Amino acid sequence: MDNYTNDNTARRYKAHVSILGTTQLHLRNPYIIAWWSAAFPGFGHMLLSKYLRGYALFIWEVFVNVNPHVNSAMIYSFQGKIDMAKEVLDTRWLLMYIPVYLFGIWDSFRTTVDMNKVYVLAEREAHRFNSFSLGALEINYLDKRNPTVAVMWSIFIPGLGQLYIHRILTAIFVIVWLVIFFYYSHIQEAVVLLFLGKINEATSVLKPDWLLFIPSHYGFAIYDSYMNTVENNKLFEKDLRDYLSVNYQSKNFQILKGQKVK
């Protein structure tokens, strides 16, 4: 219990604090992770801090969704225009889209189940981990943050909530892709036209293939920032309790169970 760095002396660590963010294991609901993968491939893996796999699936989703016009076909089908939905779809791309989409859901569910098992083992091993990281570019440390504040900043601009809790990799990724979605969907141009009362022009300028990515992007940023703020707070409290117990609590201290104080 005297080791405060991840020096590979333990089989499993519950968390790691680096200048790029705080990565930790904690119990997750596999169905929720799978749902986020269904909402947008890659999101489930990013919630698990499986960034390389998550980024690959995310970029694949954007690339293979835009080319066969999946989002446009969805809009036409919602409007009951089934013939137009069939006409706009490009099956050359669509047949590649479905297998990877299903893989993202299945793999995120499977990985969550496995990581929950690893968390239980790491919790039992109870090895100490670093809680402070100081580098030439950044400083990161465990502390308590307000989940409501993280949600508020994510509502303003997705990615800011992640910056607030120092999830640098996710923040940069989310912000960069938000700019791409805004630019190609013309949503900001449509908002300006809407304020000017030009409703028909605002509707016609929108690009549905890119527009439908934005709600999922906002939802993920809000959920990710809130969930990780809560879990980081739990990790901070647990780490502080362990530190105080080891360094300040008397070795003779005992909690007597089953006895009433008179």
Q: What is the DSSP string of the chain?
A: ----S--S-SS--SEEEETTEEEE-----HHHHHHHHHHSTTHHHHHTT-HHHHHHHHHHHHHHHHTTTHHHHHHHHHTT-HHHHHHH--HHHHHHHHHHHHHHHHHHHHHHHHHHHHHHHHHHHT-----EEE-SS-EEE-----HHHHHHHHHHSTTHHHHHTT-HHHHHHHHHHHHHHHHHHTHHHHHHHHHTT-HHHHHHH--HHHHTHHHHHHHHHHHHHHHHHHHHHHHHHHHHHHHHHHHTS-TT----TT----
pLDDT-based confidence at residue 103 (cuts at 50, 70, 90): very high
| pLDDT over 90 at 11, yes or no | no
- The pLDDT of 38-63, averaged and rounded, is 94
Rounded to the nearest integer, the mean pLDDT of the chain is 89
pLDDT value of position 90: 79
| pLDDT over 80 at 249, yes or no | no
| pLDDT over 50 at 2, yes or no | no
| pLDDT over 50 at 188, yes or no | yes
pLDDT value of position 77: 85
pLDDT-based confidence at residue 41 (cuts at 50, 70, 90): very high
